[in-house]
Amino acid sequence: MRTSVLSLSVAVLALVAGCSDTGGPAAGGAEPYKITYVQGMAGNPFFTSLTCGAQERAKELGVQFDAQGGKDYSPQSQTPILNGVIAQKPDAIVISPMAGEAMVPALSKAKAAGIKLVFADSVADDATLAVSQIASDNYAGGVLAAQTLAKQVGEKGKVMVMGAKPGISTTDARQKGFEDEIGKHSGITYLGPQYSESQPATATSKFAAVFAANSDLAGVFAVSTQEVEGVATGVQNASKSGAVHIVGFDTSDPILDDVRNGVVESLIVQQPLQMGVDAVTQAVAALKGEATTPKISTPFVVLTKDNMTQPDVAKFIYKTTCD
């Protein structure tokens, strides 16, 4: 049985509570700054890795740090958590905000309360609410995914996108980059996107429906962890491993197993640990009245079965627990 990222939610909520770092005293014996990270979703290795990087940097800076995340990737899950954090009155909140404008009211409330905001990975519709935004160039990642998939399918055949849900800044940008680039490859027919609502099981069923109508499907770009897991299951259910090429974004233990087994050929992998480090660094700078960097871009790498054990690639693999 495949293990979905959602099945890890309870465990990671416990992990996050256990990984809370009280930090050390600030200079002169003052109370340390308090920073909370509001994850996109608990149990997702990307957000766990971002948490680990933030926690590590907070410890170095003597900052009190904790993290909280909802059970699924939605504004309905994230909003009450953010409101609860605001009520605790931290000095700063690092957040991976959901669904563009849906989080703006709560984020505005935080800023009005004097809480410094840093966006990590995703961005709310009103970017001026944050003192800094740390993210990969997701559009460029989508372009790279299209170039990688085009090569894998031999520059011909039908391909599709398995998206998350419209309105998420990161996955929207990846999809747009993919679509803009794949249109330049004349031998490839783009069937358009399907959306999983960030649920692996939905990604599996949506893939199955497309494949039923297009048995000659050549490839899929899956925009994040849940979609990669779901599409990989669908491809295996159809006994088409290696015949339907998968390029995904992000990693999890099941996805890495699929790379080793040849089900997933390539992954565009980000650097969430560094995002966490940068996010806490920027939050502390803002709290000290120092200049912040409005936008910070972090790198990514293409991971394959052939290179996944190489040190310069393996360091990008996401964590499921913090050391």
**Spatial distance between the Cα atoms of 214 and 21, rounded to a whole number of angstroms:** 51
The reported pTM is 0.82
Domain ranges (residues) in the chain: 5-136+271-298, 138-269
Query: How many CB atoms sit inside 10 A of residue 182's CB?
Result: 22
C-alpha 305/C-alpha 144 separation (Å) is: 18
* Residue 94: burial class (beta carbons within 10 Å; 0-12, 13-18, 19+): buried
Token pair listed for 99: 């669904």
* pLDDT digit string, tens, across residues 29-53: 468 999 999 999 999 999 999 999 9
- The CB density around residue 78, as the number of other CB atoms within 10 Å, is 26
Q: What's the whole-number average pLDDT of the chain?
A: 91
pLDDT digits (tens, 9 = 90+) for 133-170: 999 999 999 999 999 999 999 999 999 999 999 988 89
Using the predicted structure, report yes or no on whether residue 1 has a pLDDT greater than 50.
no
2 has pLDDT over 70: no
Look at residue 4 in the predicted model and tell me its pLDDT.
41
Contact 249, 266 (CB under 8 A): no
Q: What residue type is assigned to position 240 of the chain?
A: K
Q: What is the band of 313 on the pLDDT scale with cuts at 50, 70, 90? A: very high
Q: Per CATH, which fold does 5-136+271-298 belong to?
A: Rossmann fold (3.40.50)
User: Edge-to-edge strands of the sheet including 217-222?
Assistant: 188-195, 157-163, 217-222, 245-249, 266-269, 301-304
Query: Average pLDDT in the 269-283 region?
Result: 97
Determine the pLDDT at residue 51.
98
Mean pLDDT, rounded, for 128-134: 96
The continuous run of DSSP H or E covering 9 comes out as: helix 9-18
Q: Which residues contact 149 (CB under 8 A, 6 or more apart)?
A: 159, 182, 219, 220, 221, 245, 247, 266
Q: What is the total residue count of the chain?
A: 323
pLDDT digit string (tens) for 288-306?
A: 999 999 999 998 999 999 9
pLDDT value of residue 98 = 83
pLDDT band of 318, cuts 50, 70, 90: very high
pLDDT for 253 beyond 80 = yes
For residue 178, is pLDDT > 70? yes
pLDDT at 223: 98
Instruction: Please give the average per-residue pLDDT across 250-256, as a whole number.
Output: 96
How would residue 6 be classed by pLDDT, with cut points 50, 70 and 90? very low
- The H-assigned helical ranges of 113-218 are 138-152, 169-182, 200-213
Cβ-defined contacts of 208-211 (< 8 Å, 24+) = 208/234, 208/237, 208/238, 210/160, 211/238, 211/240, 211/244
Helix (H, G, I), strand (E, B) or coil at 52: helix
| Single-letter amino acid code for the residue at 186 | S
**Res 100: pLDDT:** 66
Paired with 159 in beta bridges are: 190, 219
The CATH architecture to which 138-269 belongs is 3-Layer(aba) Sandwich (3.40)
Query: pLDDT (tens digit, 9 = 90+) per residue, 62-101?
Result: 999 999 999 988 899 999 999 999 999 999 999 999 866 8
